[in-house]
Structure 1
Amino acid sequence: MPLSLAWNTRQAIGAFLALFIAVILSTAAEAEEPKTLKGVALVIGQSKYTHITPLPNPANDARDMSKLLTDLGFDGRAVTDRDASKLSRDLERFVEDAEGADIAFLYYSGHGIEAGGENYLVPVNADDASLGNASEELVSLSQVVDKLKAIVPVVIVLVDACRTNPFPATAQLKATPDSPPQPVTVSGLGAPRGAAVVEQAPAATDNLGTVIGFAAEPGRPALDGAVGGNSPYAAALLRHLSAMKGAELGSVMRMVTEEVYLSTDTRQRPWVNESLRRMLYLGVAPDEPEGEEGLINGERRQLLLTIADLPTPERMQVESIAKKGGVPMSALYGVLRALGIDNVPKDPKELEKLLEGQAETLKKMMAERAALNVDDPEIKKMAAAADRAIEQGAITVARQFLDEAVKRVEATAGAVDAAEEAVKKKRLADAAIYARRAETASLAFDYMAAASDYAKAFTLVEKWDEKLKWNYKNLEAEALNSHGYQKGENAALLKSIAVYEEILTFIPAGEKNADWAITRNNMGVAYLNLAERAGDKNQLEQAAQIFRDSLAVLTRQSDPVNWAATQNNLGNALLNLGKRQIDSKQLEEAVAAYRAVLEVRSREKTPVDWSDSQNNLGIALYTLGEREGSDTRLVEAAAAYRAGLSAISRDAESNRWGVLQNNLGNTLNVLGARKNDLPILKEAVNTFRAALEVRTRDKVPLQWGSTMTNLGGALTQIGTRVAGTTELEEAAKIFREATGEITRERAPVDWAAVQNNLASALQHLGQRNMDGKRLEEAMAIYKDLFGVYSREHAPLDWATTQLNLGNVLQTLGKLNNDPAKLDESVAAYRLALSELTVERTPMQWATAQSMMGTALESIGFGGGGVEKLKESIAAKRAALTILTKENGPLEWAQAQFNIGNSLNMIANFEKGTESYETALIAFNAALEVYTLEETPMQWAMVQNGIGDVYWGFGTRRTDKKAFETSLAQFEKAKIGYGKGGLMAWGMVNIVNKKIEIIKQALASKP
């Protein structure tokens, strides 16, 4: 473990420090008694460079650091503006002084460069010629460190010398005049050669390790700071080295790192390499600031340590949102700390929404700060301290200050009743304090406390100021809405709606002004939140109407920003309604709403909002395209998603990027299936896999499960179009994995969708492998789904499940030669068609008609007679009024094939050959889609059907040539079946028997 160094008592004198060595063994830790050690320090500040760019602040840095180290108990010496010879002598003397010491502390502020893996300190008399003999004209940092490490147990070297290279851009350095030249880096120093953290082990020698810190990361420039002050790095050291009284050195250096990161607005982040083998503490430090500043400093340091442990993705979100919202980054990090790291949402989208809401609160507080009119100096002082604390990210301390201010408000409340004007002024000022405490409570996610304080502020201003009265009551409702949404408490949402209703009573009856419209819009959002959670159609319709009413006042011309937000809310309500209805009217209205929003939101000014609207538009178009069988809608949806992706980057907006990729994949999947286009389907698979790179199971489990389900669906589509079962097996595995996160308890509707897809994959596998167990499992899954999909509440999903159930029942009936299963399948199709009408869902209606025709055909083949076969042909021909070779090639070809089969069977009961001829036309039409390469099984079945037709011709006409053609067709069928699975090999046996019969017939004919 690292060394532990600490002051023992405040009575320690001079240059001696008390050392705590905590030796950590493999089984237990025990601390030895402290002993007195000697510490020496050298502080160097280089400002007045003669030939290269002067630096204004290093001399200030050196002065202030020297005082701090002296106060900490080091035997310190400070030097400034040293030329090469003096700087070398200073360092040699320091090495001599350090001999016999226990700690050596070197601080350097000035120019530094890196070349050939070596870092050099630059004397004030250095010029371009100095680079030709660096060993004499410059100072090697590693040589100094090595000398100190050889004689001192603990070495601390802090270098504030990572500024931009002061020499020409093409400069090269030679260690000696005879050495090969090395290019000088453009900016920053490099990591020390061999730098690595030493493994934790008991010390084997007197050397206990080294700490080397740079003001910026290797290869990155550092800032010099404002003229006359300190550099950001020196300022952070001066602020936080005093924390050594109670903090281990590693923690303090992390504080320094994050302090510089915050104070430079992410432009600079220090680097430290620590190879200490034990915990290291410095003891008694200079007196800390007391009172307000002491409290703020204490929480600030805890915040810095929290930031140091925060993962990079969360850091990027805080940085992005702070910059976008124009709020202090420290304050936004303070918000996360107030929430508690364990409570930070794992879903990036939820975290983004949370941070954006808090950034808005911060922005509002900053805007209102100047308007805060408080006449009590103590209250004013507390409010100002709270503002400083919030800017530093000390949210808890800010709440303490405002608690004190509120106590003062409450203590003096009774003294203002003497004069009405004084009362008014006092009440308004007091209300502002309650409101400020409410805002701070919101930053800590205590929305119920915020709502309570806003309610109190409302009571204070109710009789004095109409505008504030409306504002505080509205803020109370917003806090309740936030609590209800964040915590999943419907009671809070209902209460917020009640408060909005109360606000509407403030507005004169019949007057519909901006306040009325904004209040109604906010109420609509609460209804929308409720409806999305409970699936209540009535609440969705109520929300939609509220948004429409608000849009009558918040016009596009008078208030484009609020108009766009309300229009977007209307689109969301209509989209949710449309998804629950078979009728497409509301989906069309949602598309129109989103297109209108995009006329106001621009990619250039608001790229993220523009991208979100493109995504919403894509979802609405996709839903319409899937429902109507319109490729045009799907192409438009894909274009909308791609447009949205073009406006954002994966790194900055990873969650949005993942959502758009997922939605694009869904659209490509449907398009590829419609067009029977394997390249499009494979593009869909790749798109889903790209989405899963950011939608990971550990970060966003439900979104991961959703994309996994979509990936499985695309693989199923491919699996039905290629030979073998590889894609289908992978799809089934993926669906089962997805249900590990998308459970029936957590998300019943989504769970049902995954189960439906799993059943589909199992059904296809059962068909390929003649596996009755998998077909039975698929059937059981479909029947179980009716526990989620009811005809009353989800008619479209209920009908689609009936269709899928009919398909698996039909397959089982054929596999087991079970007429009862075939009858059940026809009954399921008829139920599906009771909701899937040709007017409302033409493509699904056509699919149900086609599949019902196939089942009727099997019943006819099994003894049901010609009437069943004629019903089959009627159903198939009905389907072909919608299905075309363009909009559903596979389904169209399947219908043509089944018509041919039924006509072939009917021909067996007739005397002529008319039905055979019509069947041949249908079979040949199917071959316009089915090919040996892409759909070998279906191609083989059609070839087999054509063989049967020519067999019929040969029998009826006693035509030897027809028999020979039949034999050729059966041979083709064998080739296709040979590429299939177990069921296909069974068909090969059947075809072989037909071939044998025809050959015998031919042999008996002249």
Structure 2
Amino acid sequence: MGLLKTPNHHLSARAWLTVFVTGLLCLVATLANGAENLKGVALIVGQSAYEHIATLPNPANDARDMAKMLTDLGFDARSVTDRDAAKLKRDLKRFVEDAEGADVAFIYYSGHGIEAGGENYLVPVDADMSSLKDADNALVPISAVMEELRKTVPVTIMLLDACRTNPFPPDAELRRAPTASASPIGTGGLEPVRGAKALGSAPAVAENLGTVVGFAAEPGRPALDGAAGENSPYAAALLRHLAAMKGTEFGSVMRMVTEEVYLDTKARQRPWVNESLRRLLYFGVAPPEPAGDDGLITGERRQLLLTIADLPDPKRSQVELASQQDGVPLDALYGVLRALGTEKIPEDPTDLEKLLDAQAERLKKMLSERDALSTDDPEIKRLVASADKAIGQGAIVTAHKFLDEAVRRVEQTRGAVDQAEELVRQKRLADAAIYARRADASALVFDYSAAASDYGKAFSLVEKWDDKLRWNYKNQEAEALNAHGDAIGDRKALEQAIDAYQVILGFIPNGQQNRDWAITRNNMAVVLQTIGERETDTARLDEAARIFRDSLVVFEREKDDLNWAAAQNNLANVLLKIGERESDPKRLNEAVAAMRATLEKRPRDKVPLDWAASQNNLGLALYALSEREPGGERLVDAEAAYRLALQEYTREKAPVQWAMVENNLGNTLVSLGTQRNDQAKITEAAAAFRAALEIRTRETFPVSWATSRLNLGNALSSAARFDLGTGELEEAATAYGDALTVFTRKRFPMDWASTQNNLGSVYQTLGQRARDPARLEQSVAAFRAARRIYTRRAFPLDWAMTAYNLGNTLQLLGGLSDKPEHYKDAVTAYRDALREYKRETTPRQWALAQAGLGSALHWLSMAKGDTTSLAESVAARRAALEVLTLEAAPVDWANAQNGIGMSLLNLGTLERSGKYLDEAEAAFQATLKVFTRDSQPLQWAFAQNNLGDVHWNRASQGGGDAEYLKAIEFFENAKEGFVEAGYTIPIPLTDKKIELVKQQLAKK
């Protein structure tokens, strides 16, 4: 057996590097709009034997091989090596003269080169430190040569295999002439000039068709010289692929060259080009191409290179990291993606990571087992060897064809095996290995169904001959069935995978509960979890959790920390999935504990990326748990976990994972900022979402883009509470609308419902601020749309949430429409929410629903003149304050205090009694601990107005002149607050109150 399988439910497991993608340049011998042969001249320079600075072993080799290739392609080519300044300038001058009248002028230079002061210089072999004091004479400027060639040659091409590191001391400076000012030398050798005088910028003659200048590496990056005695990676790629120009446009071939260098250097080097050609260019005559098996491999290899050139940087980064961490060839992993088809590559980075992990594991297995494959058939040996070579070159489809032929050969020879039992056994094992080999190749091209079939045939061949192999092949059949079922949602295949694991369990003697038993059952539980997540009940998820716990007992007994940590991670994931569906937070608490236990076995210094993944997963569980608790402690812990994960998942080395954690952090910051009335937290959250969206573009990651747009809308909606305008709310509505273009009800029902709910909340606030019943009707429609998915049976807490939100909108609609039935419907909605929100399990949500119920009852009582409803309103709001404290939820606490004051004040008015005024005043005064004039002038103004009403009531009941004066003072404060907040609607009513109080005082 081996390591157990871990389902990919966590959002983070790898880091990827971002690589710059660019094109290259090429030779030309025929123009696209004419078949006439063209005259081409070439100068090839190789500088190896430097006298005073670092020597380079390979430029002479590069020059020799390039000269031969260009001559074969029909160029009049001249090669020179190890030239001092005088000779190199003379060579270039002669070449400019010889190029006059030619159609194409080509220069290839391999050696040292530097850039300073906006000019690129070729470095002669006699250069030393003194050369830098008079560079235009002692070195060889490039721009002048290019300008001369552009005047007389239609197409000029210069390939510079010289982007090596600066051969002079780091602090050295260059002067173009002895009296000229000094300029620092670039650290990366030659590079494109960013000043006013770029290479080839001189005015061209009318017939000029353009210029191409190519560098062996990106700007500021060194090019590799290659192993001594060989070619540089750049020269090797040119030599291999320029022959492909026969009938192929130069841009495509040079993309092959670019990606060949990228693969050959394991992503450390990528060429760069600056071209201004105004015609498509092709080769006319090409050297012979490889034939036979090599020809098939080379053909697919070239198509693979073009596929890589078009792959977005974030996906390339994931492939690079998978190759590095799993120790499989970068070429082969890219070949796997090409076999899948670029249109089918998962957009979600987690799904792509899962795919790459599975295929990298198969590649490792194939590579590790190839030496053990033995056969006495020479044709099969040839086909298997060619398949191995094809896989190494990333030609996965071609490898599969070779193995198809090998299997046909196996099937043709099976009839002659039964001569002796030992020969039969050897033949069966050899034949099974061929089926398994083809199964591996089928899995690499994502034909999991065919892979499962071949693994099953391999199992049937070895079942009675080899216990270890029968276990291995049946296990691989189970994995292939699981992959097939998971990829296309085939429930039958998933059930067959479980059956296959049951067969494996039957191999364990006497039903021993040993390590193999634990690994097999754990892997079976992974399949059960996949099924369970697609079902409305949790029976399969519960079964998976039980199996993971059983596995932990065995791994702890066996002291197998690696498998123990993987099983613990699996257990944490399944507990989180179960807990998200339940009102009781028990499972979420268990998930947090399990994830903390996983971290103890995944130390940062030994497995930093696994450690970061577990920190992120811990943050997810803490965030989910925070929704079931009144305080913000869990949110603080979740924020800390995400920030720890970001210490390893940086934007530079893991951009996709960095964006994912930034997104998760943003959600936590929104919740913290909302609970604590902390505008800075919400502003930081919006910045986190916007940063994530720089990586999660719609073109590259549409689902992740929609998720972050949805979350940005949440942040903007929360931020709007600090600004009475509608700009942020409108932007939030736009963000939600963007998310709904991806989250359709059919494809993403849960995300669609979540977005509809949030859109309803934005319409609610817009309707409230603009006093627009139409917006409130839109809000009601959005909440009711969400409830089509959020049913009470399947999603009780989400159902309760939409009921609470619907109640808020209906209450506002009642106020604008003056229709008491809306208040009645709001009361019903809040009571629906309280059918699922319980103080014991969801205290904060329960308290908010109680406060909302109290508000709706208040306004219903005012419409009906009913003191009973007012008393119920006060009781509901006081219940809310048992949970909503000033420290944990200041805004919600203040709103509930204000509501109590309003109900008490109105209760006294209806009963014609002053006995509630002191309590009402205390409640309104309490709100001022949160609603200050500086931070929230509108709420402060309403509190001042309410205090004015209290003192007016006291004055009217014989309280004396002082109460009238206090009432006037508070009403004037309220008016000033409304003006400062820009909320003019209540000002006329406030003026009228002031006038009435003054009239009553005057009468006294």
Residue 329 of structure 1 deviates from its aligned partner by 1.4
Tell me the equivalent position of 1:516: 517
Tell me the equivalent position of 1:589: 590
Distance 1:357 1:827, change over 3 A: same
Give the alignment of 1:152-301 within 5 angstroms: 152-175=153-176, 181-191=182-192, 194-195=198-199, 205=206, 207-301=208-302
Q: TM-score, normalised by structure 2?
A: 0.91
Tell me the equivalent position of 1:560: 561
Letter in 1 for 2:198: G
Tell me the equivalent position of 1:14: none
Tell me the equivalent position of 2:478: 477
Residue 1002 of structure 1 deviates from its aligned partner by 2.4
Letter in 2 for 1:768: R
RMSD: 3.0
Residue 132 of structure 1 deviates from its aligned partner by 4.7
Letter in 2 for 1:998: V
Q: Does 1:955 align with 2:959?
A: no
Q: Within 2, Cα distance between the matches of 1:456 and 1:314? A: 35
Q: Within 1, Cα distance between the matches of 2:303 and 2:76? A: 30
Q: Within 2, Cα distance between the matches of 1:881 and 1:699? A: 48
Tell me the equivalent position of 1:27: none
Letter in 1 for 2:347: K
Residue 846 of structure 1 deviates from its aligned partner by 1.7
Residues 25 and 254 in structure 2, CA contact (< 8 A), matched pair in contact too: no
CA deviations 1:378-417 (Å, max 9, x no partner) are: 3222222211111111112211221222222222222222
Q: Within 2, Cα distance between the matches of 1:895 and 1:173? A: 74
Tell me the equivalent position of 1:378: 379
Tell me the equivalent position of 1:328: 329
Tell me the equivalent position of 1:22: 32
Residues 118 and 198 in structure 2, CA contact (< 8 A), matched pair in contact too: no
Tell me the equivalent position of 1:1002: 1001
Tell me the equivalent position of 1:772: 773
Q: Does 1:938 align with 2:939?
A: yes
Tell me the equivalent position of 1:628: 629
CA deviations 1:67-126 (Å, max 9, x no partner) are: 333333334444444444544554455455545544444433333344444444444444
Residues 836 and 842 in structure 1, CA contact (< 8 A), matched pair in contact too: yes
Tell me the equivalent position of 2:798: 797
Q: Within 2, Cα distance between the matches of 1:814 and 1:37? A: 84
Give the alignment of 1:118-133 within 5 angstroms: 118-133=119-134
Q: Within 2, Cα distance between the matches of 1:922 and 1:480? A: 65
Distance 1:510 1:741, change over 3 A: same
Tell me the equivalent position of 2:712: 711
Letter in 1 for 2:998: K
Residue 39 of structure 1 deviates from its aligned partner by 4.0
Residue 665 of structure 1 deviates from its aligned partner by 1.9
CA deviations 1:432-460 (Å, max 9, x no partner) are: 22222222222222222222221222122
Tell me the equivalent position of 2:14: none
Q: Does 1:876 align with 2:880?
A: no
Tell me the equivalent position of 2:697: 696
Tell me the equivalent position of 2:919: 918
Letter in 1 for 2:612: S
Residue 909 of structure 1 deviates from its aligned partner by 5.7
Residue 555 of structure 1 deviates from its aligned partner by 2.7
Residue 777 of structure 1 deviates from its aligned partner by 2.6
CA deviations 1:693-746 (Å, max 9, x no partner) are: 323333333333333333333333333354344433433343333322222222
CA deviations 1:183-221 (Å, max 9, x no partner) are: 44444223375346999xxx9755444444333344433
Distance 1:877 1:394, change over 3 A: same
Distance 1:805 1:307, change over 3 A: closer
Tell me the equivalent position of 1:650: 651
Q: Within 1, Cα distance between the matches of 2:931 and 2:861? A: 25
Residue 174 of structure 1 deviates from its aligned partner by 4.9
Identity %: 57
Give the alignment of 1:317-716 within 5 angstroms: 317-555=318-556, 558-716=559-717
Distance 1:868 1:599, change over 3 A: same
Distance 1:975 1:190, change over 3 A: closer
Q: Relative to structure 2, which stretch is displaced further, 903-912 or 485-494?
A: 903-912
Q: Relative to structure 2, which stretch is displaced further, 616-625 or 729-738?
A: 729-738
Residues 196 and 275 in structure 1, CA contact (< 8 A), matched pair in contact too: no
Letter in 2 for 1:504: L
Distance 1:714 1:224, change over 3 A: closer
Secondary structure of the equivalent of 1:108? Answer: strand
Tell me the equivalent position of 1:12: none
Residues 695 and 703 in structure 1, CA contact (< 8 A), matched pair in contact too: yes
Residue 419 of structure 1 deviates from its aligned partner by 1.7
Q: Within 2, Cα distance between the matches of 1:912 and 1:308? A: 82
CA deviations 1:224-271 (Å, max 9, x no partner) are: 222222222222222223323343333333322222222122223233
Q: Within 2, Cα distance between the matches of 1:945 and 1:136? A: 88
Distance 1:941 1:552, change over 3 A: same
Q: Within 2, Cα distance between the matches of 1:456 and 1:187? A: 56
- The runs of 5 or more residues in structure 1 that have no matched partner are 7-18, 24-31
Tell me the equivalent position of 1:900: 901
Residue 180 of structure 1 deviates from its aligned partner by 5.0
Secondary structure of the equivalent of 2:627? Answer: helix
Residue 633 of structure 1 deviates from its aligned partner by 1.1
Q: Within 2, Cα distance between the matches of 1:475 and 1:527? A: 17
CA deviations 1:141-185 (Å, max 9, x no partner) are: 444444555554444443333333444444445555565555444
Residues 760 and 778 in structure 2, CA contact (< 8 A), matched pair in contact too: yes
Q: Within 2, Cα distance between the matches of 1:792 and 1:342? A: 38
Letter in 2 for 1:783: R
Residue 133 of structure 1 deviates from its aligned partner by 4.9
CA deviations 1:303-343 (Å, max 9, x no partner) are: 22222333333322222222222221111222222222222
Q: Within 1, Cα distance between the matches of 2:725 and 2:161? A: 66
Secondary structure of the equivalent of 2:159? Answer: strand
Q: TM-score, normalised by structure 1?
A: 0.91
Q: Within 1, Cα distance between the matches of 2:816 and 2:288? A: 88
Letter in 2 for 1:805: L
Aligned residues: 978
Residues 527 and 542 in structure 1, CA contact (< 8 A), matched pair in contact too: yes
Q: Relative to structure 2, which stretch is displaced further, 830-839 or 247-256?
A: 247-256
Distance 1:729 1:35, change over 3 A: closer
Distance 1:407 1:683, change over 3 A: same
Tell me the equivalent position of 1:9: none
- The runs of 5 or more residues in structure 2 that have no matched partner are 1-23
Residues 769 and 981 in structure 1, CA contact (< 8 A), matched pair in contact too: no
Tell me the equivalent position of 2:17: none
Secondary structure of the equivalent of 1:930? Answer: coil
Secondary structure of the equivalent of 1:158? Answer: strand
Distance 1:370 1:816, change over 3 A: same
Residue 849 of structure 1 deviates from its aligned partner by 1.9
Distance 1:394 1:833, change over 3 A: same
Residues 26 and 157 in structure 2, CA contact (< 8 A), matched pair in contact too: no
Tell me the equivalent position of 1:753: 754
Residues 5 and 21 in structure 1, CA contact (< 8 A), matched pair in contact too: no
Residue 593 of structure 1 deviates from its aligned partner by 0.8
Distance 1:284 1:21, change over 3 A: closer
Residue 580 of structure 1 deviates from its aligned partner by 0.7
Distance 1:492 1:654, change over 3 A: farther
Residue 979 of structure 1 deviates from its aligned partner by 4.8
Residue 604 of structure 1 deviates from its aligned partner by 2.6
Residue 837 of structure 1 deviates from its aligned partner by 1.8
Q: Does 1:858 align with 2:859?
A: yes
Tell me the equivalent position of 2:815: 814
- Using CA pairs under 8 Å that are at least 6 residues apart, name the structure with larger relative contact order, 1 or 2: 2
Residues 3 and 280 in structure 1, CA contact (< 8 A), matched pair in contact too: no
Secondary structure of the equivalent of 1:464? Answer: coil
Q: Relative to structure 2, which stretch is displaced further, 921-930 or 404-413?
A: 921-930
Residue 597 of structure 1 deviates from its aligned partner by 0.7
